[in-house]
Amino acid sequence: MNIGSKIKKIRVEKLMTQSELAGNVITRNMLSQIENGIAQPSLGTILHISQKLGVPAGYLLSEGEEEFIYNKAKVMRDIRRAYSDKNFELCYEICNDSFDEFDDEIELILTDCCIGTAEEYIKGGKLYSARQLLDEALNHAANTIYSTVTQKNSIYIMFHLLKTLSPTLDSDEIDTEIGTGILNPSLFGDVFCKYIAILSGKQSELDADKLLYNAGELSEQDKLFIAHIKARRCLLSREYRKASTILRSIMDGETVPSRLLLYICCGDMEKCCKEMEDYKGAYEFSNNKMEILEHMLADV
């Protein structure tokens, strides 16, 4: 980006008019010529503009890698704040709005942002949007020198879940049949990914017990996933009435379950009702399950 484009970009971001930036040092017409690349500013003009814009003069004069370093220093505080708050959508926006190209650190941050946002999209039923972000996460992971084994595990297991919901939700970037075969269960640090892995049989019973044991340290939404693991265990051991009690507490409790969890619970309630010969209930839960899935697959 040339010096004129930089000046204009920062001026617009700060909602300044050309007259306000020009002040009484240069004319508005001269500033317009500088911004459009018709004229080159003198050192005195650069110092005046940099002071008015609140940026180092060196940033306006920088090129290539040096420009990236200046730019990164300017926004890194906001990136770190959004990232630490797990506001991954905002962090993603800041990175993409601030840089035309990324270094290894930003590539890694964007990998995590795409995964974190995709996870929230899956929970909320925005399945195709999640699929696109997971593929984007793979591309960012491939462009950083940092280890992304944990991130790839999360991506593979989320694709595993998406494919169980619809074959159209498979990755465009990887062969997920191979990918899910190289999962390392011990590297799931996220409760949601552990939950998916346990339900899919990719995670051990020991890991399930650890999650159940630590339920008191989790968020209210995470506790619902833990409760569902308990219900699924009851279902597998044919304790259908006990399983249905837990499932109803998830669906009707004070904490509203995510659309994804509601879909899974309706499917499990359908099984429980069938086994308890409550065919009317099974029919209703089957319809509810299909209606929820239709809404989730409508996110195109």
DSSP 196-264: HHHHHT-S-HHHHHHHHHTGGGS-HHHHHHHHHHHHHHHHHTT-HHHHHHHHHHHHHSSSPPPHHHHHH
Instruction: Indicate if the pLDDT at residue 64 is higher than 70.
Output: no
Tell me, what's the pLDDT at 71?
Answer: 75
Tell me, what's the pLDDT at 188?
Answer: 65
Query: Per mean pLDDT, which range of 179-188, 218-227, 233-242 is the poorest?
Result: 179-188
Residues 18 and 25 sit within 8 Å (Cβ to Cβ):
no
pLDDT, greater one: 105 or 60: 105
Tell me, what's the pLDDT at 291?
Answer: 96
Residues 37 and 4 sit within 8 Å (Cβ to Cβ):
yes
Tell me, what's the pLDDT at 112?
Answer: 96
Q: What is the DSSP letter of 182?
A: G
- Rounded mean pLDDT of the chain? 88
Can you tell me the distance from the alpha carbon of 90 to that of 87, in angstroms, rounded to the nearest whole number? 6
pLDDT, greater one: 192 or 64: 192
Tell me, what's the pLDDT at 127?
Answer: 96
Q: Which domains does the chain have, with CATH numbers?
A: 1-61 (1.10.260.40), 64-180 (no CATH), 189-297 (1.25.40)
Give the residue-averaged pLDDT of 13-34: 92
Tell me, what's the pLDDT at 212?
Answer: 66
Tell me, what's the pLDDT at 187?
Answer: 60
This model's pTM is above 0.85: no
Instruction: Indicate if the pLDDT at residue 265 is higher than 60.
Output: yes
To which H or E segment does residue 95 belong? helix 88-98
pLDDT, greater one: 218 or 275: 275
Tell me, what's the pLDDT at 244?
Answer: 97
Helix (H, G, I), strand (E, B) or coil at 190: coil
Instruction: Indicate if the pLDDT at residue 260 is higher than 60.
Output: yes
Instruction: Indicate if the pLDDT at residue 178 is higher than 80.
Output: no
Give the residue-averaged pLDDT of 136-142: 96
Q: Cα Rg for the chain, rounded, in angstroms?
A: 26
Give the residue-averaged pLDDT of 257-261: 95
Tell me, what's the pLDDT at 60?
Answer: 82
Instruction: Indicate if the pLDDT at residue 215 is higher than 70.
Output: no
Please give the backbone phi and psi of residue 143, each rounded to the nearest 5 degrees, phi first.
Answer: -105, 10
